[in-house]
Amino acid sequence: MSDTTFLIIETLIKAAVIVLVFSALAGFATYVERKILAFMQRRLGPTIVGPKGLLQVAADGIKLFTKEDIIPQNANKFVYKIAPVITAATAFIAMAAVPFIPSFELFGHTINPIVADVNVGILFVLGAMAVGMYGPLLGGMSQNNKWGLLGAARTVIQFLSFEVITGLSLLAPLMIMGSLSLIDINNDQTGGISDWIIWSQPVAFILFLIAAFAETNRTPFDLLEHEAEIISGYATEYSGMRWGMFFIGEYANLFTVSFLASIVFLGGFNPIPVFGLFDIPGTLAILLKVAAFIFFFLWTRATWPHVRPDQLMWLCWKVLMPIAIINLLITGVVILAQG
């Protein structure tokens, strides 16, 4: 088998594995979310279907798949149908440039668990996630529903504003490391916990985390589907699997952002030495970090109330963006001074 054929087959298999694994993980994340939120509210969460309610995910999936697919009468049918696909597809496309775990040997081949090791990986991820904004936008505008339209407007405002914060906050660590490839970024932090970028860029980390909440539509900033104000935002008229695709896209983005934060700021998939005794292997290390991020996202959802849209804009443009630019400036000056 020639190298090209092998590469094509390998890439196809990787892509399929990523889509399957993260679709399943998105389902599992809903289960974890329901369980943890329930515990934090002194409830039990799903317990009936399967052991500890684990098969609730399957039950929900069956329900979503078999539900009637309703298309509103005056909707722009083509755009309406294609919008959820955009969200789900871009969420998975963004994962193409994310290295999930360290490379490993399989059947005599070294396999890098990354679909496309492009040298501008982080730009690609951010760009693909930004394109995902077209899903809610087109869906909201095509469904002939004023709540959908308002939801779409809010989505665009929120995503566009916080793209700025994400970009500016990531710029500072990127200046230090001088590479946009996520594998290079990961390899820059090989020396254990003290080498993590979070210690030299704590402000950027906090900014990125705050922006991640907005980008993934998590609770302090979940204004896109704020039930009390705009019913369900851009997803008002969607039902069944089309709504499910929005949902999967959202959870896939959650995972992507968690992986991104772990790789850029928290040392990625490098093994962590523990007191010089033993190493936590890289795969386990990054999965632990991602799990911690996901738990944090759920934890804040159970704790914090969400903000008003005007407060969100105030936070973005009057607080976070100046801080991000000052952080960038200081980083630049320090890099120049160090020569």
Q: Identify which of residues 47 and 112 has a Cβ nearer to another protein in the complex.
A: 47
Question: Contact between 43 and another protein (CB under 8 A)?
Answer: yes
By beta-carbon proximity to another protein, the closer residue of 37 and 171 is 37
Structure tokens at 273: 């030495």
Query: What is the Cα–Cα distance from 57 to 68, expressed in whole angstroms?
Result: 19
CA distance 248 to 5: 31
Q: Rule CB under 8 A: say whether 130 interacts with another protein.
A: no
Rounded Cα distance, 309 and 36, in Å: 27
Q: How far is the CB of 200 from another protein (least distance, A)?
A: 23
Interface region with another protein, contact rule CB under 8 A, candidates 176-184, 210-218, 244-252, 299-307 = 299-307
Total number of residues shown for the chain: 339
Beta bridge partners of 272: 280
Residue 233 contacts residue 154 (beta carbons within 8 Å): yes
Least spacing, CB of residue 301 vs another protein, in Å: 10
Task: Report the alpha-carbon distance of residue 112 to residue 10 in Å, rounded.
Answer: 10
Among 2, 4, 5, 41, binds another protein (CB under 8 A): 41
User: Residue 123 carries which side chain, given as an amino acid letter?
Assistant: L
330: contact with another protein by CB under 8 A:
no
Of 59, 288, 302, 328, the one binding another protein (CB under 8 A) is 302
CB of 40 to another protein, least distance (A): 5
Give the shortest CB-43-to-another protein separation in angstroms: 5
Question: Residue 56 belongs to what H/E stretch?
Answer: helix 56-66
Please report, as a single letter, which amino acid is at residue 267. Answer: G
Residue 4 or 41: which CB sits closer to another protein? 41
CA 307 – CA 301 distance, rounded (Å):
12
Assess contact for 213 and 221: CB atoms under 8 A.
yes
Q: Tell me the C-alpha distance between 73 and 81, whole Å.
A: 13
Q: Is 157 in the site for another protein (CB under 8 A)?
A: no
Separation of CA 292 from chain center: 14
- Binding residue (CB under 8 A) for another protein from 76, 179, 239, 300: 300
Contacts of 123 by beta carbon, 8 Å cutoff, 6+ apart: 180
| Stretch of 92-100, 181-189, 296-304, 325-333 lying at the interface with another protein (CB under 8 A) | 296-304
User: Residue written as tokens 């597809």?
Assistant: 89
291 counts as binding another protein under rule CB under 8 A: no
Count of C-beta atoms within a 10 Å radius of residue 37: 15
Q: Is 299 in the site for another protein (CB under 8 A)?
A: yes
User: Contact 23/248 with Cβ under 8 angstroms?
Assistant: yes
If the CB atoms of residues 37 and 82 are measured against another protein, the closer one turns out to be 37
Token reading at 241: 């699997």
Specify the amino acid at residue 199: W
Cα separation, 65 vs 63, whole angstroms: 6
Q: Does 317 bind another protein (CB under 8 A)?
A: no
Residue of the chain from 11, 119, 303, 311 that contacts another protein (CB under 8 A): 303
Stretch that binds another protein, among 42-50, 135-143, 182-190, 248-256 (CB under 8 A): 42-50
Stretch near another protein under the rule CB under 8 A, chosen from 94-102, 110-118, 159-167, 298-306: 298-306
Q: Which of 29, 36, 150, 257 binds another protein (CB under 8 A)?
A: 36
Contact letters for another protein, residues 241-270 (x by CB under 8 A): ------------------------------
Nearer to another protein, 242 or 301 (CB): 301
The site for another protein (CB under 8 A) is made up of 36, 39-44, 47, 299-300, 302-304
